[in-house]
Structure 1
Amino acid sequence: MSLRILVTGGAGYLGSILIPELLKAGHKVTVLDTFIFGQNSLADVCYLENFNVVRGDTRDEVLLKELTKDKDIVIPLAALVGAPLCNRDMIGTVTINRDAIKTLSEVLSPSQKILMPVTNSGYGIGQDGVYCTEETPLNPISTYGKTKVEAEEIILQRENSISFRLATVFGMSPRMRLDLLVNDFTYRAVNDGFIVIFEGHFKRNYVHIRDVARAFLHGIENFDKMKGEAYNVGLSDANLSKLELCAKIKEYVPNFTIMEAQIGKDPDQRNYIVSNEKIEATGFKPIYNLDAGIKELIKGYTIIKNSKFSNV
């Protein structure tokens, strides 16, 4: 069944992978994006009749009303992502990550569907050995985490929505991000040969960007049985500390030197392990593991030799 889908921020890191998959599935896709990073990541789908693109801001209520009036589904990807970038633009963080979602929920009719990514950094600091589930109380520490938790609250109040609480995403994309942990550490291994780690025992969960795109397609196909709920999306065998992640990368880059510093701290202080059983119970299983992602990134960094793709 062909659906009419609006994706805000669709030219970003995730959208650049998701949009071609939505089109391949036969959907009609409109992307709204400001293109603030100067990316041309969707150039290869412009020839497709089912693809449309609009340069504009997701905070523009008039534009949003116009673009959503005939859509079946909206996927709001537009956001300032990550603690460092959000700390640099606090006003943009609040108005894009939270307020634009509130506006979106107000302009949509109850029958229109929302599928939105948030972050599992909303769990903040977990307890040793205790898995965070969707029932775990949220305790976001960073402004990024707080605004995404508030946005999730807004969309879940309308029920005809699904929220995906994403683990830390990794993998190559046409609109690459080097600031994400696996992407960053692998880049340092390949290009610098060493890394200095602080708070090396801090743990988090990881997921490949193509599995995130698959989770959205899964949500579209199984919307009626999944709606009104939040779902953790990650690799159940990849709840790793920073030092464990570095050791895994070293398996593929043997000359990678890892040093641990006693000073410095994580910008958003996240430290937890996550259960992904809820979404797995709906029939979704990731197919790209951490090893495959690291090998992919090593090939990608043969091409990318600078940091212009970082968000900060």
Structure 2
Amino acid sequence: MRVLVTGGAGYIGSILVPILLQRGDSVTVLDTFRAGGTELAAACAYEGFRPVRGDARDHRLLDELVPQHDVLIPLAALVGAPLCKEDAVGATTLNRDAVRDLVARSGGDQMIVYPTTNSGYGIGEAGKFCTEETPLRPISLYGVTKCEAEDAVLGSGRGVSLRLATVFGMAPRMRLDLLVNDFTHRAVNDGALVVFEGHFKRNYIHIRDVAKGFLHAIDRFAQMRGEAYNLGLSSANLSKLELCARIKDHVPRFVYIEAPIGEDPDKRDYIVSNDKLEATGWSPDIDLDAGIRELVRGYTMLRNGRFANV
């Protein structure tokens, strides 16, 4: 397959792109490479790897690149509610408009595999699983723009949408702001955490299982085409306090308390069913505990001290 990945040097792309290359696909990555790091250095060993420095909103680049590929994976996005709130114009033009523009240039037998977020479910009903039939009620600009982009992908008739749970795990392009990654980082480095509204629940998924989900959708595209699928760990619909307890199992010195006042600006609260994707033959390889152990090992090496004096 000839695969185009926009934003392929990010958190998910730094895992997914090498896996695609290893299985024999040729991969073009369109990215600004603003981080200036070596996240995709290993990919350069493959003759089928083509990095293109540019913006996913550049129509001239899309006109050139989209027709050359069999599979289109739009990863380029401003990810997370706080970042999108900070840059509303960037969120709208990159998360929504750039995906619409890519879809508009696609055609024929091309496949689009799009990662959206199950944060589109917003605030779920207590004790009731969100399925792909549950109405989307995003409560942030991030969720709104991703849901609108999903509409474009599925409306084209050439797409599959993967509604990702909160992702965790080590990657060459690391993110420390994701909930499991963040809480484990605080456990390892600070030994303590104050939790706001600890009863809020979410679903979680390891980053390598996200990559496995992309491969699954490509390989079973005819079966899955035109549909959205929740992609998460069915064993990990957990509240923030339950997540802290799991982390403490692996970092015994970790102390956490729930704040008696104050609130979390991220109001998402839901549990998610992944039955639809599992019915197609997909299953995760990495459970939450294995992922936490991986993060503990990683944080032994990683230091986030760029702005500290010591």
Equivalent of 1:31, from 29, 32, 53? 29
Aligned positions of 1:181-260 closer than 5 A: 181-260=179-258
Alpha-carbon separation, structure 2, partners of 1:283 and 1:308: 43
Q: Shift in Å at residue 111 of structure 1?
A: 2.4
Alpha-carbon separation, structure 1, partners of 2:167 and 2:64: 32
Alpha-carbon separation, structure 1, partners of 2:30 and 2:17: 12
Q: Cα RMSD between the aligned structures?
A: 1.1
1:180 aligns with 2:181: no
Q: Which moved more, 1:157-166 or 1:266-275?
A: 266-275
Aligned positions of 1:1-312 closer than 5 A: 3-306=1-304
Gaps of 5+ in 1: none
Q: Which moved more, 1:38-47 or 1:138-147?
A: 38-47
Question: CA offsets per residue over residues 97-145 of structure 1, 9 Å max, x none?
Answer: 0000111111111421100100000000001110000000000001100
Question: CA offsets per residue over residues 187-217 of structure 1, 9 Å max, x none?
Answer: 0000000000001000000000000000000
Alpha-carbon separation, structure 2, partners of 1:186 and 1:142: 25
The number of residue pairs the alignment matches comes to: 307
**Kept after mapping to 1: 8 A contact 2:187/2:193:** yes
Alpha-carbon separation, structure 2, partners of 1:284 and 1:67: 30
**Kept after mapping to 2: 8 A contact 1:83/1:267:** no
Question: CA offsets per residue over residues 135-162 of structure 1, 9 Å max, x none?
Answer: 0000000110000000000110011100
Question: One-letter code of the match for 2:276?
Answer: K
Question: CA offsets per residue over residues 7-51 of structure 1, 9 Å max, x none?
Answer: 000000000000011011110100000112233200111021011
Alpha-carbon separation, structure 2, partners of 1:91 and 1:104: 18
Alpha-carbon separation, structure 2, partners of 1:233 and 1:199: 25
Q: Which moved more, 1:195-204 or 1:100-109?
A: 100-109
Q: Shift in Å at residue 267 of structure 1?
A: 3.0
Gaps of 5+ in 2: none
Question: One-letter code of the match for 2:53?
Answer: R
Q: So what's the TM-score if we normalise by structure 2?
A: 0.97
Alpha-carbon separation, structure 2, partners of 1:36 and 1:86: 18
Question: One-letter code of the match for 2:36?
Answer: G
Alpha-carbon separation, structure 2, partners of 1:281 and 1:307: 44
**Kept after mapping to 1: 8 A contact 2:201/2:240:** yes
Question: CA offsets per residue over residues 162-205 of structure 1, 9 Å max, x none?
Answer: 00000000000000000000000000000000000001000000
Q: Shift in Å at residue 308 of structure 1?
A: 5.6
Alpha-carbon separation, structure 1, partners of 2:194 and 2:165: 23
Secondary structure of 1:246 counterpart: helix
Alpha-carbon separation, structure 2, partners of 1:11 and 1:84: 21
Q: Shift in Å at residue 263 of structure 1?
A: 3.0
Alpha-carbon separation, structure 2, partners of 1:256 and 1:90: 36
Alpha-carbon separation, structure 2, partners of 1:308 and 1:266: 26
Alpha-carbon separation, structure 2, partners of 1:104 and 1:280: 29
Secondary structure of 2:45 counterpart: coil
Q: Shift in Å at residue 92 of structure 1?
A: 0.3
Q: Which moved more, 1:239-248 or 1:59-68?
A: 59-68
Question: CA offsets per residue over residues 37-67 of structure 1, 9 Å max, x none?
Answer: 2332001110210111001000001111101
Question: One-letter code of the match for 2:49?
Answer: F
Q: Which moved more, 1:35-44 or 1:74-83?
A: 35-44
Identity of aligned residues (%): 64
